[in-house]
Structure 1
Amino acid sequence: MPITSLSQLDKNGSYTYSEYLQWQFEEFVELIKGKIFEIPTPYTQHQQVVGNLYGIIGFYLRRKKYLIFGRPFDVRLPTYDANGELMPDTKTVVQPDICVICDPTKIDERGCNGVPDMVIEVLSPSTAKKDLNEKFNLYEEVGVSEYWIVFPEAKTVSIYLLEGHKYALLGHFGHLQQPGPLQVRTLPELEVELEDVFENVV
């Protein structure tokens, strides 16, 4: 029997990407190590910031080999068993607000099969805990080199860079903290001004 509603799934169950592909409901969800996380409808501030950042980075990447994608866009990340062996059917599929991928061979008709080089998550009240905890730990574990966490209400950006196997905080950037500009380490020639990130954000 096809799964046509999120309510048909056990929220405490564990699922794989193969099962995820069979679901036919309208809600957007992510899988993190088999656990379901529903993606709520984003707030206006969230969408404004995502649009600003996508426009800035996307404009810079014109006619370059690197790729940028925004949600909805499936990113399949590797899952390892208890022995550290790579599982053939991943249990982790996320939809970052923005991701930059430097290796175009990771892209297929279903999204990105592999680890992005840079991920940006813009916090909403309903997703903040996940972005600051589950996703932070996940991106660190799988090796996302650069992770930006954007706080629309505070108008600040926290940037983490992977050093070895752990994230190191580059800085908390905001008009009342470090004023920027924001250096994109994945794209060394690109600097982003804070006022452009939060332009017209109410």
Structure 2
Amino acid sequence: MQSKKKKDVIREEPLTYEDYASLADDGVQYELADGILQAMTPAPHPIHQLVSQELAYQLKQGCKNEYILFVAPIDLILSKHEVRQPDLLLLHTSKSELVTNRGIEGSPDLVVEILSPSSMKRDRKDKLDTYAKYNIPEYWLIDPVQKFLEQYILNEAIYELNEVYMHDETIKSCHIKCAAFSMNTIFNAIPEFPNL
């Protein structure tokens, strides 16, 4: 009886990074949100992938001398109970000690999420709150359908919507000064597909 209670108590405790890292590979990507395992399914839409690739290209071109760029999948370990998988993140070269064998252990300078129907609530609310809690100075949300970028800036532990960029408006950031592209730059590089 006592051993059963002990098992129940252990099962109710939040999962840790070690639990997350020891999961068997079942073909599903997961995040650890405040100790709770969340599946990231279904796989991203093809346009999501193309937007991610083009955004990575633009950031790499402009920021490669100051920042290290990481593209999903990469473990962003914010605490022993919080492991996220952002679509992209930038880490200033002065913070290179945050890169370990396990992933990125600490807060990067920028996190980017590309919205999809299955992740919209998680990206707009859960991740927004999480990234603010761990003092990530800037958070971008990209809508691949409406073709805009929402730029959130951390202000006293809360993200404020700083700007919405569309069309030919050049993205400007007081934190990531090397970023200088427009949403048209991203989307004009993506071909048309007859079945999408």
- Paired position in structure 2 for 1:74: 75
How far, CA to CA, are the matches of 1:146 and 1:180 in structure 2?
Answer: 18
- Paired position in structure 2 for 1:92: 82
Structure 2 unaligned regions, length at least 5: 1-11
- Paired position in structure 2 for 1:87: none
C-alpha RMSD of the superposition: 1.6
Task: Show CA shifts across 1:1-31 (max 9, x none).
Answer: xxxxxxxxxxx97311111111112211000
1:196–1:68 CA distance, 2 compared to 1 (3 A): same
The AA in structure 1 aligned to 2:72 is R
How far, CA to CA, are the matches of 1:49 and 1:138 in structure 2?
Answer: 23
Task: Show CA shifts across 1:136-158 (max 9, x none).
Answer: 10011111101000000000110
User: Once the 2 structures are TM-superposed, how far is the Cα of residue 185 of structure 1 from its aligned partner?
Assistant: 3.0
- Paired position in structure 1 for 2:8: none
How far, CA to CA, are the matches of 1:142 and 1:22 in structure 2?
Answer: 24
User: Once the 2 structures are TM-superposed, how far is the Cα of residue 193 of structure 1 from its aligned partner?
Assistant: 1.4
- Other structure's SS at 1:99 match: strand
1:13–1:162 CA distance, 2 compared to 1 (3 A): same
How far, CA to CA, are the matches of 2:53 and 2:177 in structure 1?
Answer: 21
Q: How do 1:46-195 residues align onto structure 2 when only pairs under 5 Å count? A: 46-62=48-64, 64-78=65-79, 90-102=80-92, 103-175=95-167, 179-195=168-184
With structure 2 as the length reference, what TM-score do the two structures score?
0.84
How far, CA to CA, are the matches of 1:193 and 1:65 in structure 2?
Answer: 20
The AA in structure 2 aligned to 1:119 is V
How far, CA to CA, are the matches of 1:198 and 1:13 in structure 2?
Answer: 44
- Other structure's SS at 1:108 match: coil
165-174 or 179-188, which moves further after superposition? Answer: 179-188
Q: Does 1:19 align with 2:11?
A: no
Structure 1's consecutive aligned runs of 4 or more residues displaced over 3 angstroms after TM superposition are none
Task: Tell me the percent identity.
Answer: 26
Task: Show CA shifts across 1:28-70 (max 9, x none).
Answer: 10001011211121101101110110000012233x2521101
Q: Which has the larger radius of gyration?
A: 2
User: Once the 2 structures are TM-superposed, how far is the Cα of residue 123 of structure 1 from its aligned partner?
Assistant: 0.5
How far, CA to CA, are the matches of 2:123 and 2:51 in structure 1?
Answer: 16
